[in-house]
Amino acid sequence: MGGVPHPGLRLRARPDAAGPVSTSRVLVVEHQESCPPHLVGTWLAEAGCALEVCRPYDGDALPALTAYDAVVVLGGEMSANDDDTVAWLGPLKAGIRDAVAAGTPLLGICLGHQLIAAALGGTVERNPRGQIVGLQPVGWSEDAAADDWVGARTGAEVAIHWNNDVVVALPDGAVVLARTPGGEVQAARFGPRAWGVQAHPEADTGVVTRWAESDRADHVALGLDQGAVLASIEEARPALEAHWQPLVALFAAIAEARR
């Protein structure tokens, strides 16, 4: 944070941007260079948010999450249980607990979703069904319809997944908002203004292609056709953006309303 320019740093809205207008300061915690805020960063900026991207893997000190109007915690290759080997995970979990207690709007994406669960007493483990890759249907729960964030936008039918771990036990008080076809928690509400999604609304084909390259050997061994997976993601791009951009804009509005 500071020092190194980033496409998501201090972004401002386009004059013609649609959706709610926000002037909120949003902290984005990025765990590795290949997992940037990308589309979510763009959409928050279009809603008027000023993003500050913290890269603890690059030496950035983790600030107090409660000093911001909202926080987004991104994905990464590490496990949410890797506190002993990833120095910033323990302090980040403590910050997450503070943010939830303070009512700071919080959105966790993939690893970020798992970190919120773990920070609040839930359990994250390797998925016994193996890695979930590519497009997955969104299985909204009955509780989703009444949720302050996703309630008005439960028309989203698909999402990009690329994860090995899953939340196998939610913390007390958390509510399942969606499940994958295999039954894994796909989205959850962890507090009045705290949400997590196991999917990757921030990713597009370009981002996922980098992840595919990293997993190529494993996928070849499994007989997974990465080309087909990437082609399906590219084909679904208009639907993905149409479904997820309004949700990100609504998160920005929630952040603005709390100011």
Question: Where do the domains of the chain lie?
Answer: 25-258
pLDDT at residue 22, rounded to an integer: 67
pLDDT at residue 7, rounded to an integer: 35
200 is catalytic: yes
Q: From the candidates 38, 113, 200, 243, which is the catalytic residue?
A: 200
pLDDT at residue 187, rounded to an integer: 98
pLDDT at residue 199, rounded to an integer: 97
Tell me the two tokens of residue 125: 């483990």
pLDDT at residue 9, rounded to an integer: 33
pLDDT at residue 152, rounded to an integer: 78
Tell me the two tokens of residue 95: 């910050």
- The CATH H-level superfamily of 25-258 is Class I glutamine amidotransferase (GATase) domain (3.40.50.880)
49 is catalytic: no
The CA distance from 202 to 219, in Å, is 23
Q: Which ranges of the chain would DSSP assign to H, the alpha helix?
A: 38-46, 89-102, 111-119, 205-214, 216-222, 226-235, 237-258
Can you give the pLDDT of all 259 residues of the chain as single tens digits? 433 233 333 333 333 445 545 689 999 999 999 999 999 999 999 999 999 999 999 999 999 999 999 999 999 999 999 999 999 999 999 999 999 999 999 999 999 999 999 999 999 999 999 898 999 999 999 999 999 999 977 676 899 999 999 999 999 999 999 999 999 999 999 999 999 999 999 999 999 999 998 889 998 988 989 999 999 999 999 999 999 999 999 999 999 998 7
Q: From the candidates 110, 161, 184, 243, which is the catalytic residue?
A: 110
Q: Dihedral through CA 225, CA 183, CA 122, CA 67, nearest 10?
A: 70
Contact 20, 45 (CB under 8 A): no
- Beta strand pairing call for 106-109 and 70-73: parallel
Q: From the candidates 30, 46, 202, 256, which is the catalytic residue?
A: 202
33 is catalytic: no
pLDDT at residue 154, rounded to an integer: 67
